[in-house]
Chains A and B, each alone.
Chain A
Amino acid sequence: MSAAVITPTELAVPRDGPWRHAGRRLVRRRAAVFGLCVVAAMVGLALLAPWIAPFDPLATSFALVRKAPGSTHWFGTDEVGRDLLSRVIWGGRASLAAGVISVAIAIGVGVPLGMLAGYAGGWLDAVVSRITDAMLAVPFLILAIALAAFLGPSLSNAMIAIGITGTPIFVRLTRGQVMNVRAEEYVEAARAVGNSPARILLRHILPNILPPIIVQATLAIAAAIIAEASLSFLGLGQQPPAPSWGSMLNTAQRFLTQAPWMALFPGLAIFQTVLAFNLLGDGLRDALDPKAT
């Protein structure tokens, strides 16, 4: 019945979906593509660490203490003779896992709370918003340090601390987005035909507010990687001897005069990964939100 209404020309030219359209816009941005490639490479290295790393990241050797970069040990060795390249590759696992898992925690808690607050309004919104304000009143890293301090130093506690600290940003973002689209006609229509609030939120509102959340998530991963490195640098994240970029920098500072390469490579690894996520995030913002540019 409805097929009769569609003309053959319309069938021949399929309408381009918004996501595919955004994908094409993203690919046109060289910086974003570069960011995406670096992120993909770092994720690949981290996943394949056991096969790619040339040496055991924990194997010490008195004969190899603080050797400068060379043909066998490309990044040199550390104060107990461990291969730095292998440690940087393995350290990527901790950093990327911390970035992704802590942001997943922040999204998992923040987005549902923000959607509830934005859609329900009233006292629920007031309570959620005040708690969000209070959490945002404490500077990011200081709250993360305090949480990590009370939870106890470990990589998983650092992820929890960063995740909790990052939650209010997602609550506020989602709440604002939901309030924007709540009055839109398609939401009204969905309500008028008798959809339940849960269905309206998940099927009608969520897909429409997803783009800014994706952009924020990408930039939040960059911030979370720096935060994990910071906590590990302070001794509150990954515990030795397990490698992480932050804790490697902590040790490196003590050997700055004798072995500066110990500080160079883990720092470059953090910089490059964070830069890549920032480039990707900026590119995604341009691609997903044409109004912003």
Chain B
Amino acid sequence: MLKFLPRRLLQLVPTLFLVSVLIFGLQQLLPGDPATVMAGEEHDPAVIEQIRKQYRLDRALPIQYLYWIKGVAEGDLGESMRIKQPVSQLIATKLPVTLQLATMAMLFAIVIGIPAGVLSAVKKGSAWDIGANVFALWGISTPNFWLGIMLIFLFSVQLGWLPASGFVSPFEDLRQSIAATVMPAFVLGNAIAAVLMRHMRSAMLQALGSDYVRTARAKGLLEHVVILKHALRNALTPVITLGALEFGALLSGAVLTEQVFSIPGFGKLIVDAVFNRDYAVVQGVVLVTATVYVLLNLLADILFILVNPRLRD
């Protein structure tokens, strides 16, 4: 573990460096003069000149990058052209909203995906197994924004049980907050549940076919003890780490879900920024997402070693 960690941390450096180059490079894709495009509707030469100065667009590319990355390292992700606020501040206000949504979605995914996977492995070939597999296939094939629209139609328009859109902070009104996030969280968690179910099923099938499960059965242990204590505990390990990797899918899905349900989170921030041609915000959001994702992968690796005694030394 002690040997592994520094090496793994060292690996992050080139990855994050290249991610930053990639994100910085996006600017080069802008057609025409970047300063003019970034100014958008504004045609005042003074404004364009100011943008050119601010982003040092008159300097060589590597110099521009160095200035940009120096700012990033100091927590300065630039300023939003449209809202005239520091990008880091914008992200800081939107991130908790998305994190709440993502946490609830993950909860849905675990509560649905793990039992479904266990059940379909234990009852392999039965109607339960077929049902769980159909559910998984449905989950990965349904575009989540469409599912969101259909649920809004059912639960908000037809039945009037849940609000169709908006967000309430849990610190203001917990009940309202849950009512507003339960549908988007289900929509977001649904696809992850399908993936978790598939992972859980194959890990469980492997565990059930192993020697230690045969031994446990031979000892005369009750079947549910064998399944829950012996097979499930071992099968969960790979699923936990694979589940952590699904966080990327969660962030991607949040963009659409927040759009459908008008939730003022991280995903809506990037979409609004795209339409306002607020390129500094787009770059900032992508950079923060990538960093969070890379760190989560690291966490998953560490977790995998911690829960797996054989790898600990």
Interface residues of A (CB under 8 A from B): 130-131, 133-135, 137-143, 145-152, 222, 226, 229-230, 233-236, 249, 252-253, 256-257, 260, 263-264, 266-267, 270-271, 274-275, 278-279
Contacts and interface: CB of A to CB of B under 8 A. Distances in A.
Interface in B21-72: 21-23, 26-27, 29-31
8 contacts: A133-B18, A137-B19, A139-B248, A139-B290, A141-B252, A150-B27, A267-B146, A275-B138
A138 B137 contact: no
Nearest to A160: B29
Interface in B57-108: none
B171 interface: no
B248 to A, nearest CB: 4
B29 A134 contact: no
Interface stretch (B120-128, B150-158, B174-182, B213-221): B150-158
B256 interface: yes
B274 A149 contact: yes
B145 A230 contact: yes
A130 B15 CA distance: 6
B143 A267 contact: yes
Nearest to B271: A234
A236 B274 CA distance: 9
Contact of A149 (B19, B248, B282, B297): B282
Contact of B26 (A146, A229, A274): A146
B190 interface: no
Contact of A150 (B29, B141, B297): B29
A152 B31 contact: yes
B167 interface: no
A252 B15 contact: no
B290 A138 contact: yes
Nearest to A270: B143
B141 A274 contact: yes
Dominant secondary structure of chain B at its interface with chain A = helix
A256 B137 CA distance: 27
B289 A139 contact: yes
Nearest to A279: B137
Contact of A230 (B27, B31, B256, B294): B256
Given A139-B248, A279-B137, A233 B256 contact: yes
**A147, A235, A253, A266: which has the most chain B beta carbons within 10 Å?**
A253
Nearest to B275: A235
A249 B29 contact: no
B294 A137 contact: yes
B143 A229 contact: yes
A148 B153 CA distance: 30
Given A139-B252, A229-B143, A271-B143, A134 B153 contact: no
Contacts of A278: 137, 140-141
A138 B293 contact: yes
Contact of B22 (A135, A148, A234): A135
Given A249-B145, A267-B150, A271-B143, A146 B282 contact: yes
B31 to A, nearest CB: 6
Bin the interface of chain B by size: 35 or more
Contact of B15 (A137, A142, A147, A279): A137
A234 B290 CA distance: 21
Contacts of A264: 150
Given A141-B252, A252-B149, 8 more contacts: A137-B293, A137-B294, A138-B289, A148-B274, A235-B275, A256-B152, A256-B157, A263-B146
Nearest to B18: A134
Contacts of B31: 152
A145 B271 contact: yes
Given A137-B19, A137-B294, A142 B252 contact: yes
Contact of B142 (A141, A146, A271): A271
Contacts of A235: 275
B78 to A, nearest CB: 15
B248 A140 contact: yes
Contact of A142 (B27, B29, B157, B270): B270
B173 to A, nearest CB: 26
B80 to A, nearest CB: 14
Nearest to A260: B153
Contact of B146 (A143, A145, A150, A271): A271
Contacts of B138: 275
Interface in B248-300: 248-249, 251-253, 255-256, 259-260, 270-271, 273-275, 279, 282-283, 285-286, 289-290, 293-294, 297
B209 interface: no
A133 B21 CA distance: 13
Contact of A145 (B19, B140, B149, B270): B270
A274 B194 CA distance: 15
B255 A145 contact: yes
A253 B289 CA distance: 28
Given A137-B290, A138-B293, A145-B274, A230 B153 contact: no
Contacts of A249: 145-146, 149
A234 B143 CA distance: 13
B198 to A, nearest CB: 10
3 A-B pairs with least C-beta separation: A134-B18, A141-B252, A267-B146
B309 interface: no
Contacts of B149: 249, 252-253, 256, 263, 267
A249 B146 CA distance: 7
Residue of A142, A222, A253 with most partner-chain B CB within 10 A: A142
